[in-house]
């Protein structure tokens, strides 16, 4: 009798499609960076524990990190549809119940835990989002117990195999803009066996609570973390206002001198948050004034629909001139590509209306480019080869191929130019940012 196929077993079609999917994941971001991958242990089983801010794209970025297969979990209600259940199983995704599904449903998680342990015993990485739900903020949510139950049970069943929980910090340049930037950082792993041995005098429940604190701390270290309180928006506004100067300040430190791109922005923003926390203790009036300015600036900026990218840029006038030059130079092709991409653009706009949560926008765009755009390209190619000689049809097809991404870049440039212009005209808002910078740097 043939052995029942397990979700972690190799699948030739899955492996074949992975190359295409991973490529499109990377194309979904102008800059996608993986940091400290050498922290992932090679001598045992691994449970990845990422923060959850970007719906489907969080999982996609973990998948594209390397060529190894990974098994994920998703909320169980998605598996009620038989067709979706088959698709998710093919994609190596298992169901998991949540407390909102009811206590009786949560009890069914024992089966998921047993299957997860089987995955780990086969040395296939297992991915679970310990926050249980997504949140489009640079913050974190309380961790659920599911990941710890899986880790403890897996350790009991394979005590001779090292088992690690690896926190993963995912940081997006924008939660809602397709082809933004993304940074994925591996945190300091937790060796489950060593942890249990070190806390052998504690009860299993106490061990779980302590491990939860450890994981929360290490996860926050791996992300751009702002406490989710009444000062969140103001703090985020201040970070954007001072990030350019903060970068220059960091560059004078040998530890940060060689940092580039997203890494230096990550360090600069985290330093700003820490400095504000320090000011709250050491100079409360100054901290309160900064937060007051942050709240006022945030409200004014959002009312005018000005993006924080305009606020964070170091040389705003040069930035505007450069954007305008690039836009004019590429306008003939970008206009052509934008028209060609209309089928996916319009379909995306229609689907967006079905989702109240804007966090799904990037996932929808990814799926459209993954599934719909190839179909559109086949139709374009057929028409091109019928209407034109192949010598013309071939270059035309090649020019059409990246149209959705070219259209996105064109729209981004226009949006940033408009935003830069609005900020340039708003003297009151610029004055607030200037005061924030002066207070932060004691000028």
pLDDT digits (tens, 9 = 90+) for 159-208: 888 999 999 999 999 988 899 999 999 999 999 999 999 998 999 899 99
- The residue that leads in pLDDT, 296 or 326, is 296
CA distances from 231 to 41, 315, 384 (A): 38, 28, 56
Report d(CA 178, CA 436) in Å as an integer.
30
How far is 56 from 52, CA to CA, in rounded Å? 9
Per-residue pLDDT tens for 10-20?
A: 888 888 999 99
3-class DSSP assignment, residue 289: helix
User: Is this model's pTM higher than 0.85 or not?
Assistant: yes
The pLDDT of residue 108 is 60
Q: Which of 167, 165, 144 is nearest to 154 (CA)?
A: 165
**Average predicted confidence (pLDDT) for the chain:** 89
pLDDT score at 164: 96
Radius of gyration of the chain (CA): 24
Contact 174, 30 (CB under 8 A): no
The span from the CA of 400 to the CA of 334, in Å, is 10
- 295 pLDDT above the threshold of 60: yes
Which of 303, 343, 314, 309 has its CA nearest to residue 412?
309
Q: Grade residue 1 by pLDDT with cuts at 50, 70 and 90.
A: very low
Distances (CA, A) of 114 to 117, 119, 157: 5, 9, 10
Residues 6 or more apart whose Cβ sits within 8 Å of residue 386 = none
In the structure encoding, which two tokens stand for residue 370, read together?
Answer: 């993954």
- Closest Cα to residue 397, out of 369, 410, 378? 378
Residue 34 has phi, psi (to 5 degrees) of -105, 130
What pLDDT score does 188 carry? 95
Provide CB contacts within 8 A for 321, sequence distance 6+: none
What's the pLDDT tens digit per position in 329-380?
A: 889 999 999 999 999 999 999 998 888 888 889 989 999 999 999 999 999 9
Residue of 58, 77, 136 whose CA lies nearest to 356: 136
Displacement of CA 39 from its chain's centroid (Å): 19
Q: What is the CATH number of domain 12-221?
A: 3.40.1130.10
Average pLDDT over residues 108-127: 83
pLDDT, mean of residues 418-431: 93
* Mean pLDDT along residues 405-429: 92
Q: What are phi and psi of 64, to 5 degrees?
A: -80, 0
Numbered ranges of CATH 3.40.1130.10 in the chain: 12-221
Q: What angle (nearest 5°) sits at the alpha carbon of residue 88, between those of residues 86 and 90?
A: 70
> Mean pLDDT over residues 247-264, rounded?
82
Cβ atoms within 10 Å of 397's Cβ, excluding its own: 16
Structure tokens of 6? 């397990």
What span, in angstroms and rounded, lies between the C-alpha atoms of 255 and 258? 8
- Segment 22-71, tens digit of pLDDT: 999 999 999 999 999 999 999 889 999 999 998 889 999 999 999 888 99
Q: For 77-116, what is each residue's pLDDT tens digit?
A: 777 778 778 878 888 888 876 555 554 555 566 777 788 8
Q: Residue 443's pLDDT is what? A: 60
């Amino acid at each position: 009798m043939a052995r029942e196929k397990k979700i972690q077993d190799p699948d030739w079609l899955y492996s074949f499609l992975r190359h295409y999917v991973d490529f499109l994941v990377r194309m979904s971001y102008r800059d996608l960076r993986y940091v400290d991958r050498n922290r992932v242990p090679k001598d045992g089983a691994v449970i990845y524990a990422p923060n959850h801010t970007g719906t489907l794209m969080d999982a996609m970025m973990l998948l594209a990190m390397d060529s190894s297969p990974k098994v994920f979990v998703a909320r169980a209600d998605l598996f009620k549809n038989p067709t979706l259940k088959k698709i998710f199983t093919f994609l190596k995704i298992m169901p998991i119940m949540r407390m909102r599904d009811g206590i009786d449903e949560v009890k069914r998680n024992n089966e998921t835990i047993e299957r997860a342990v089987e995955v780990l015993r086969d040395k296939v990485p297992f991915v679970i989002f310990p926050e249980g739900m997504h949140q489009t903020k640079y913050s974190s949510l309380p961790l659920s117990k599911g990941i710890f139950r899986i880790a403890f049970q897996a350790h009991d069943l394979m005590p001779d195999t090292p088992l690690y929980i690896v926190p993963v910090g995912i940081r997006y340049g924008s939660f809602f803009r397709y082809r933004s930037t993304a940074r994925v950082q591996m945190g300091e792993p937790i060796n489950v066996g060593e942890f249990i041995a070190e806390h052998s005098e504690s009860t299993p429940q106490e061990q779980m609570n302590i491990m939860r604190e450890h994981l929360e701390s290490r996860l926050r270290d791996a992300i751009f973390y702002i406490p989710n309180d009444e000062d969140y928006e103001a703090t985020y506004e201040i970070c954007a206002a001072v990030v350019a100067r903060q970068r220059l300040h960091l560059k004078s430190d040998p530890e940060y001198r060689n940092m580039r791109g997203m890494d230096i922005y990550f360090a600069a923003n985290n330093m700003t948050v820490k400095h504000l926390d320090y000011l709250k203790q050491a100079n409360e009036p100054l901290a309160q004034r900064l937060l007051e300015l942050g709240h006022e600036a945030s409200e004014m900026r959002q009312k005018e629909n000005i993006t924080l990218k305009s606020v964070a840029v170091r040389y705003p006038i040069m930035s505007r001139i450069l954007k305008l030059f690039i836009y004019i130079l590429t306008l003939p092709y970008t206009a052509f590509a934008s028209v060609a991409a209309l089928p996916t653009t319009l379909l995306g706009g229609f689907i967006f209306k079905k989702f109240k949560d804007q966090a799904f926008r990037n996932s929808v765009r990814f799926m459209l480019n993954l599934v719909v755009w190839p179909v559109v390209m086949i139709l374009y190619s057929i028409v091109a080869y019928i209407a034109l000689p192949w010598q013309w049809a071939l270059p035309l097809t090649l020019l059409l191929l990246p149209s959705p991404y070219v259209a996105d870049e064109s729209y981004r440039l226009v949006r940033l130019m408009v935003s830069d212009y609005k900020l340039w005209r708003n003297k009151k808002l610029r004055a607030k940012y200037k005061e924030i910078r002066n207070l932060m740097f004691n000028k």
